[in-house]
Chain A
């Protein structure tokens, strides 16, 4: 057995060549893969609300990322409720917003947030401003309108998270009707809610649409609407209120004949 190691020469050329080749190959592969990743990510859509992850605490980010988003949302909703008890609008809204964003598929948080904005905040601001209803009715209407619009804006965001949930349109309809006193706009939302195909169709929304048409003086339009809806009403479903529809049709038919 012979061990022979001749004189060493310090040659690094082969390693440098290998390193260069490996780097170039890596860059090419990474370029291809990152393009693929971009296309796949576009297909998948954004999974986490960007706004929350930009502005939230690290714990919040981790909760949002790891799937504990529901737990995080519950915690923030409880915080929001405590702020609501103190009538701290800014804090209540901030935490409620995070609850909605952390669990955007849960209607409960959107509903609670919107109701706070539309019904509670105006009252708090009005009282905090020292206004009186008897003398400052205009201020009251202005405040209500401002918060009503904000609530509708929130519902637009909710629609993106719950595109086929009729409750979003119904909430918008109620705000238009009760807060903004905008019946035509409310009517549009009621109709949109009814037109959404869902397992439990809100038949009452169709009825209220007809009612609002009649209240605006469009008796003929209301009658046509009821006659259009009536054949579609499912039998045996109390929520469909078939008897009420028939009653309304008879009433409106009689009114139409009188006017002719």
Chain B
């Protein structure tokens, strides 16, 4: 009987990632959130007419970035959760793991597939935002486009980091609600990082309760951008490279932990 050679790790990684991406494409949540987000972006001009500020371009940029932030966060939490629960709770991983595929390879493959789906969503949102700003915002030229793409890169890093966190949660949980709630909670807490620090210093329970949480999570607020930087060209206080490495370090930690937990899962 002919013996098949199992494919290489990289090939398996790519196969699993592509399949996960295809599964993500079938999820309706992405499409629904995307349509709502584009609708909101389109309504930015309407909201701008109620703005008391002087700089309508700044309003459009901030509003647009906020829409992308919210929709991106939603997709970054819900989509990977759905994909992981399909594999874990619906047991779609079983035929794959009974093949000659290492568990860690499968774990990373699903992570990369989910991250690619989230990344694609974010890039499309930023492109839509850029196109609208080019049409509506005064002073939005090629330099601003470049800075917007820089903001897109940081948002992608943030999405990657959240995806790693969702992979960690998905590695052991069989409940969609648990993964989404805990994931969303972490994202919210990560944005409130500076506030949590201040509270930890001020309040009695702060040191006991908040410091351990601050220990475990990254400051997600660092990855945001505002109109001041995009339109005005104000230099960001932290270099994009340092932020990217910071995000990648946390992501690597979450992924290693998740892969280790996934290795010992039983079906």
Contact = CB atoms under 8 A, between A and B. Distances in A.
Given A33-B218, A66-B70, 5 more contacts: A40-B242, A50-B198, A65-B221, A106-B53, A108-B53
B52 A108 contact: yes
Interface of A: 15, 18, 22, 26, 29-31, 33-34, 36-37, 40-41, 43-48, 50, 53-54, 61, 65-71, 73-74, 77, 103, 105-109
Nearest to A41: B219
A200 B250 CA distance: 46
A22 B193 CA distance: 26
Nearest to B242: A40
Nearest to B225: A67
B63 interface: yes
Contacts of B54: 106-108
Contacts of B52: 73-74, 77, 106, 108-109
Interface in B196-227: 197-199, 214-216, 218-219, 221-222, 224, 226
27 contacts: A29-B249, A33-B246, A33-B253, A37-B193, A37-B218, A37-B219, A40-B222, A41-B197, A44-B237, A45-B237, A47-B194, A48-B194, A48-B195, A50-B195, A54-B198, A61-B192, A65-B188, A65-B191, A66-B66, A66-B69, A67-B65, A67-B226, A68-B66, A69-B66, A70-B58, A70-B63, A106-B52
Contacts of B50: 74
A15 B194 contact: no
B178 interface: no
Interface size class of B (residues with CB under 8 A): 35 or more
Contacts of A54: 195, 198-199
Contacts, number: 101
A106 B56 CA distance: 11
Contacts of A77: 52
A37 B69 contact: no
Among B53, B54, B216, B224, the most chain A Cβ lie within 10 Å of the Cβ of B53
B246 A40 contact: yes
Nearest to B51: A74
B86 interface: no
Contacts of B221: 47-48, 65
Contacts of A31: 215
Contact of A36 (B194, B246, B260): B246
Contacts of A69: 62, 66
Contacts of A50: 194-195, 198
B59 interface: yes
A215 to B, nearest CB: 33
A106 B55 CA distance: 9
Interface in B157-193: 188, 191-193
A107 B52 CA distance: 10
Contact of B215 (A34, A45, A103, A107): A34
B136 interface: no
A102 B219 CA distance: 20
B63 A68 contact: yes
A67 B63 CA distance: 6
